[in-house]
Copies of this chain bind each other. A is one copy, B any other.
Amino acid sequence: MSVLSLAQIRQFLDREFPQVGGAFAVEEVGPMRARMRLIYQERHLRPGGTISGPAMFGLADVALYVAILANIGPVGQALTTNLNINFLKKPEPADLIGEARLIKLGKRLAVGEVSIFATTSDDLVAHAVGAYSIPPRD
Q: Which chain A residues have a beta carbon within 8 Å of chain B's beta carbons?
A: 16-17, 19, 43, 45-48, 52-55, 57-58, 61, 76-77, 79-90, 103-104, 109, 111, 113, 115, 124, 127, 129, 131, 133
Contact A82 B80 (CB under 8 A): no
Give Cα A19 to B89, complex, Å.
22
Q: List the B side residues contacting A81 at CB < 8 Å.
A: 86-87, 109, 131
For this chain, the copies found in one complex come to 4
Expressed in whole angstroms, the minimum distance between the Cβ of A136 and any Cβ of chain B is 11
Contacts A17-B47, A19-B43, A103-B88 given; does A131 touch B82 at CB 8 Å: yes
Listed by A's residue number, 22 A-B pairs whose Cβ atoms lie within 8 Å are A17-B46, A17-B47, A54-B55, A54-B61, A57-B83, A79-B87, A79-B90, A81-B86, A81-B87, A82-B85, A82-B87, A83-B85, A84-B84, A84-B85, A86-B103, A89-B104, A109-B133, A111-B127, A113-B127, A113-B129, A127-B129, A131-B131
